[in-house]
Amino acid sequence: MNRVFKNSSLILLLLVAIPSWASLSSTVDRTQIEANETLQLTVRYSGKAPSGEPDFSGIEKDFSIASNSRQQQYSWVNGESTSYTDWKILLIPKRQGKLTIPSLNFMGSRSQAVAINVRPADPTAGAASGQPVFIETTVDKDMAFIQEQVILTHRLHYSVPLQDISISEFEIPDAIIQQISEERFNKRINGKNYSIIEIKFALFGQSVGKLKIPSQRFTAFETSNSGFGGFFSRGNRVIKLTEEKTVDIAPIPAHLSASQWIPSSQVRLEQSWSDNSGTLTAGEPITRTIKISALGLTAAQIQPLPNLENNELKLYPDQPKLEDKQTNRGILGVRTESLAIVPNQAGQISIPAIEIEWWDTVNNRMQTSRLPSKTFNVVAGSKVNQIADKQPSALGQSVVIGAETSNSEIPAITRWSLGLNALLIALLVGLFYWRKTPVSVTVPKTPKSVITAKQQLKKIEQLAANNQLAEMRDSLLHWGAEVFPQQPPRSLNQLADLMNNLELKQQFSQLDQSLFKADSGTEFEVESKTIIKALKQFVPVKTPSHTARKELKPLYPK
């Protein structure tokens, strides 16, 4: 009995003593790193750990945890068993200087703290030292005016095979971001061949001060040969951080107003006429189309053209069309405005020249782009033409002009032709009102690194404060395209219907009438605060997927 008791006690003592054999350790692949490099931390527990893990939250004071993987190893050698559990943690330093990986605790065991020295990143070190993977980050200017384009360029160099390469998204408060290009090419550096991925972004600072460009993360996997049939598989994970940058954003020069502010490296004006003969007929319309192209600006930033005022003309403006194009020199914003012009009477009319003043960001001075004036001879129609009082549709329908003549003066075949034309016009007008087609306006597609709805809303507030209603209208449609990507609104009326807001619909109507009203002498007040409040309070509702299956009809209906 005593022997049994002694054996039991020995076993119990052994079981109690087992945890004291286990230990917890922390090791790193290196203790000296640069600010844009990652660090591999290995935490090993030399005992059985069927579940759980150490508390790693203390590490996040000085480091970001990019990844965390767990591995367990068991072995039996010469009758003795060993086991341990490893946690492989990829760390990214949050700042420069002397950082610390704190002591960790797991199942009663503690690891030692590890000191890490983080040096400032050397942009030229990668190429000079022949590193297999490195990044270069540049901006084309250290100082820019508010709303002026700044081009940010990242170049990922790698001399080893990589796959699944990706870059993290980023957001900058008070700035508009658009990705403008992504190119791949090869380059030989210091006798070594590198593959290069170059990504460019256009940034537009919207407030004065320091524009801080945060670091972005390139993630990839090394390609390893599995040795079976020549197939390749994922190897080690590679993470590289881009260099942080800061750009000083200066205010608009004191001698300029917000309405004159068009910061661009090149502004061009082009115009075309639907009739180039130089002779017009009283009561018959001619369409003038003007295209404004600004390099280094989005289309929404281009100011609208000044209104044309002439008592001898009836004017019917179309909705402007906006388009952003990506070029190797940045964003090319294009604003197209069309105007239907109907002369009232015979004689000679002159369309005045159009001038746009803009800030030359290359030479830092004001420049002027100009369209020359144009003179037309206007001849009378067959009789006195009656001009329609109603404004023609912004969809580009022609103004219908009818000549007053007696039936006796019109041949039978002409009367038949006029009657047929009148019938066709009536059918088209009826079809137009039946379909209620909204006003057409081209809204640029959202870029890869998109202008978020939040950024657009902030821009709408700024434009409203400056009473820039035309630009505010364009930004409202951009905001609608962000909120309703599956059904981008082509008019403010359609946007209000999508939001199901009758009060907003009324305010949008006031805004359109204020901008595009005929010469009625009526003033329309736009309550911008009401519009902005409605946008902020709106919560988008998720719509069901278009791929949902429809129920089939019964094969044998009753």
- pLDDT value of residue 56: 92
d(CA 136, CA 243): 8
Please state the rounded mean pLDDT for residues 424-438. 54
Cβ–Cβ < 8 Å for 199, 328? no
This model's pTM is above 0.75: no
- 3-class SS of residue 254: coil
d(CA 2, CA 6): 6
Give how far the C-alpha of residue 98 lies from the chain's centroid of Cα atoms, to the nearest Å.
38
- pLDDT value of residue 494: 82
Amino acid at 297: L
Tell me which residue of 215, 187, 208, 199 sits closest to 37, measured CA to CA. Answer: 215
The CA radius of gyration of the chain, in Å to the nearest whole number, is 35
Greater confidence (401 vs 61) lies with 61
d(CA 163, CA 233): 9
Length of the chain: 558
Residue with tokens 């505010």: 472
pLDDT higher than threshold 80 for residue 357: yes
Please state the rounded mean pLDDT for residues 3-21. 48
* 192-205 vs 175-189, strand pairing mode: antiparallel
- pLDDT value of residue 344: 86
pLDDT higher than threshold 60 for residue 45: yes
Tell me the percentage of the chain whose pLDDT exceeds 70. Answer: 75
Cβ–Cβ < 8 Å for 249, 145? yes
- pLDDT value of residue 546: 41
Cβ–Cβ < 8 Å for 100, 115? yes
Those residues whose C-beta lies under 8 Å from the C-beta of residue 494, and which sit 6 or more positions away, are 438
* 354-360 vs 24-28, strand pairing mode: unpaired
Cβ–Cβ < 8 Å for 206, 147? yes
Greater confidence (170 vs 8) lies with 170
Tell me which residue of 279, 278, 273 sits closest to 380, measured CA to CA. Answer: 279
Q: Which domains does the chain have, with CATH numbers?
A: 20-119 (2.60.40), 125-250 (2.60.40), 263-405 (2.60.40), 453-537 (no CATH)
What mean pLDDT is reported for the chain? 78
How many CB atoms are closer than 10 A to CB 557?
5
Greater confidence (386 vs 326) lies with 326
Tell me which residue of 150, 376, 360, 420 sits closest to 279, measured CA to CA. Answer: 376
Reported as a single tens digit per residue, the pLDDT across 68-124 is 888 888 777 676 777 889 999 988 888 888 999 999 999 888 999 999 998 887 666
Those residues whose C-beta lies under 8 Å from the C-beta of residue 497, and which sit 6 or more positions away, are 505
Q: Please give the C-alpha separations between residue 200 and each of 156, 159, 207, in angstroms, as whole numbers.
A: 12, 21, 22
In this prediction, residue 523 has a pLDDT band, given cuts at 50, 70 and 90, of: low
pLDDT higher than threshold 90 for residue 4: no
pLDDT higher than threshold 90 for residue 465: no
Reported as a single tens digit per residue, the pLDDT across 189-244 is 888 899 999 999 999 999 999 999 999 999 998 887 655 544 556 778 888 889 99
How many CB atoms are closer than 10 A to CB 197?
19
Give the up-direction half-sphere exposure of residue 176: CA atoms within 13 A in the CB hemisphere. 26
Reported as a single tens digit per residue, the pLDDT across 110-137 is 999 999 998 887 666 666 667 899 999 9
- pLDDT value of residue 463: 86
